[in-house]
Amino acid sequence: MEYAGALHGGAFSRFDLGGPDQALIEVHYRVGVLLRARFGEFAARAELYHVSSHLGDEFFLDSGTRPISTSREGLELMLQGSPIPGLTVYGGPGALLRATRDFEPLSLRAGAGWESSPGSSARLHASVDVFSWAELEWEPAIAAEFGAGLGRGTRLGLLLGFGPSRAEQFLRQSERLIGVSVSHVR
């Protein structure tokens, strides 16, 4: 049996790329604590997280919207396995523990990730996540990432996503997202 823990954080921003000044619309911050126990090819993990969302100043000026800042804390529980080398599949429920808006507490998440073998010359990775929340009537949101390793523990990727928005200010609006990810694991 093997145990591991991690602290992680990220910032996710949305810009109006079709507008004249490409203004910042909103930014989400996420921090969390992840605990994992591995039993051979299977693992169980729990993540306690905090998310806060804030609208951009230009968005307020352009839209006349009043300021909205929200936050929530939640817990995700996942089971994961590796049916073949390099492939990991996972899934499980989540629950909000506290939210500044009336969100339904339950969610589901499932996905798969692939990494090329450690001995290959190019360290490639790809993943697909499917998220679903009760307040969106379980309509799925899908996110995919494709990328490569830059050095020991560092990865760069292209993120793509589509589905209903869970951002408080744009709840249920259909969205398509594109972005860049950078991660480092020690």
Q: How far apart are CA 124 and CA 134, in angstroms?
A: 34
Task: Report the side by side order of strands in the sheet with 69-81.
Answer: 2-15, 24-39, 42-55, 69-81, 87-99, 106-115, 124-133, 141-151, 154-164, 174-184
Q: What is the DSSP string of 71-104?
A: EEEEEEEEEEE-SSTTEEEEEEEEEEEEESS---
Bin 83: left if φ > 0, else alpha if -120 < ψ < 50, else beta: alpha
Q: How far is CA 130 from the centre of its chain?
A: 10
Q: How far apart are CA 86 and CA 130, in angstroms?
A: 20
Domain of 98: which CATH number?
A: 2.40.230.10
Alpha-carbon distances of 45 from 2, 25, 68, 94, 162, rounded to whole Å: 12, 33, 32, 12, 26
Residue range 22-31: mean pLDDT, rounded: 83
Per-residue pLDDT band for 10 (boundaries 50, 70, 90) equals confident
Radius of gyration of the chain (CA): 18
pLDDT tens-digit map of 54-109: 777 777 666 677 666 678 899 999 999 999 989 999 999 999 999 877 778 999 99
Q: Are 109 and 133 in contact (CB under 8 A)?
A: no
> Comparing 34-43, 123-132, 145-154, 165-174, which segment has the lowest mean pLDDT?
165-174
Query: What pLDDT is stored for residue 186 in this prediction?
Result: 66
- Report the candidate in 53, 130, 46, 129 with the shortest Cα–Cα distance to residue 95: 46
pTM to 2 decimal places:
0.82
Q: How far apart are CA 34 and CA 185, in angstroms?
A: 13
Split into its structural domains, the chain has a count of 1
Q: Are 174 and 166 in contact (CB under 8 A)?
A: no
pLDDT tens-digit map of 122-163: 789 999 999 999 988 899 999 999 999 887 778 899 999 999
- The residue range of the domain holding 83 is 2-184
pLDDT(21) > 90: no
Q: Are 149 and 155 in contact (CB under 8 A)?
A: yes
